[in-house]
């Protein structure tokens, strides 16, 4: 669940702010690989993330 939260907050902000993944990694002091993994996770687990978000509401 923690990774899902990170995924939504970090990747979501990146998309909203229209940062490149390199800029996001630099902005949050994360490895580029961590941003790429979060993006992959979000893309690969969209239904699960939606279910978890719905449960929290």
pLDDT in tens, 28-53: 788 888 878 887 888 888 888 788 77
Centre a 10 Å sphere on the Cβ of residue 56 and count the other Cβ atoms it contains: 8
Give the tokens for residue 27.
Answer: 């902005």
Q: Residues, the chain, total?
A: 57
Using CA atoms, how far residue 32 sits from 13, 21, 37, 56, 57, in Å, is 15, 7, 9, 29, 31
Report pLDDT for 29: 86
Report pLDDT for 45: 83
CA distance 6 to 30: 12
């Amino acid at each position: 669940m923690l990774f899902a939260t990170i995924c939504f907050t970090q990747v979501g902000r990146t998309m909203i702010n229209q940062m490149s993944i390199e800029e996001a990694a630099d902005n949050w002091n994360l490895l580029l690989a961590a941003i790429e993994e979060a993006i992959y996770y979000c893309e690969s687990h969209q239904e699960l993330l939606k279910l978890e978000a719905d449960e929290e509401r």
